[in-house]
Amino acid sequence: MTKKAWIAAALVLALGVTVGFAQTAADFDITLTEDGKGAVIVKYTGRGGMVRIPAAIEGFPVREIAGDAFYENKTITGVVIPPGVTKIGDSAFLGCSNLARADIPNTVTVIGDSAFYACSLTTVVIPDSVRSMGEAAFHSNKKMTSITLGKSLTVIPSNAFYGCENFTAIVIPEGVTEIDQSAFSNCKNLRSVTLPSTIKEIGSEAFWFCEALTTVTIPGSVTAIKWWSEAFRGCSKLPLATQAALKRLGYTDLF
């Protein structure tokens, strides 16, 4: 290695720069969308690192990332999804244990079941364009410290953020009517939950054993919530005033 190359490599290590490789059409198995107007990423076959998916392949705009497209790929550390993509399929990035970054554009409307299950994402921003998010979409991202939910969601699906241990606060946006079963279960460092005025139903074990939870903010306009069993079981640090407020809204289980 030349002295110049050695210095460059040392700088990369010192600065923590993520090394990636230029992606081309040859790095992907592709097919057409059902309408024949766009490309679907079926499988990634490239070298890993930071993956930047092209906006178009062979002259067709990339519209979808198919289910299992990056399934259990241990080499990718980040993915930049281009504007124009509308769907991220079931288990698309499941088990990508070194995936720390995912840039989701404001054209995606659907994130499938287990799409980012057991990755290493630290920050998740779900754009306002997303209308449907599948079960366990971000389950077991244990390094996650920040979650921003999009404003078009009406349901936080079951197990969506189960076991995401390191984020401390969540604001559920206006428009969400339901938090499904175990959506935030076992989020051990979650301290603050802000519910919207539109909330109607909170599922079984939705915040089960969120052991650090001390603040649940509920707008005064909410007069009743349909509760399923043990939504706040294991949340023993909730102050009595908060427990009383939840009981006034119909919560009858133990904390």
pLDDT digits (tens, 9 = 90+) for 148-167: 999 999 999 999 999 999 99
Using pLDDT thresholds of 50, 70 and 90, give the confidence band for residue 188.
very high
CA atoms of 189 and 168, how far apart (whole Å): 5
Is CATH 3.80.10.10 the classification given to domain 154-255? yes
Strands (DSSP E) found in the chain: 28-32, 39-44, 49-52, 56-57, 60-65, 76-80, 87-88, 101-103, 110-111, 123-125, 132-133, 146-148, 155-156, 169-171, 178-179, 192-194, 201-202, 215-217, 226-227
pLDDT (0 to 100) of residue 197:
98
Domain boundaries, the chain: 27-153, 154-255
- Give the pLDDT band (50/70/90) at residue 24: confident
Share of the chain above pLDDT 70, in %: 91
Question: Which residue, chain included where needed, has tokens 């024949």?
Answer: 36
Domain 27-153 architecture: Alpha-Beta Horseshoe (3.80)
Question: With bands split at pLDDT 50, 70 and 90, how would you rate the model's confidence at 105?
Answer: very high
At residue 110, the pLDDT reads 98
Taking residues 51-60, report their average pLDDT.
Answer: 97
For the segment 54-67, the average pLDDT, to the nearest whole number, is 97
223-230 mean pLDDT: 97
> DSSP letters along 193-246, please?
EE--TT--EE-TTTTTT-TT--EEE--TT----EE-TTTTTT-TTS-HHHHHHH
pLDDT at 5 over 50: no
Q: What is the pLDDT of residue 22?
A: 57
Residue that is written with structure tokens 């649940």 in the block: 216
Compute the mean pLDDT over every residue in the chain, rounded to the nearest whole number: 92
> pLDDT band at residue 11, thresholds of 50, 70 and 90?
very low
Distances (CA, A) of 229 to 59, 62, 214, 238: 52, 43, 20, 17
Same fold, 27-153 and 154-255: yes
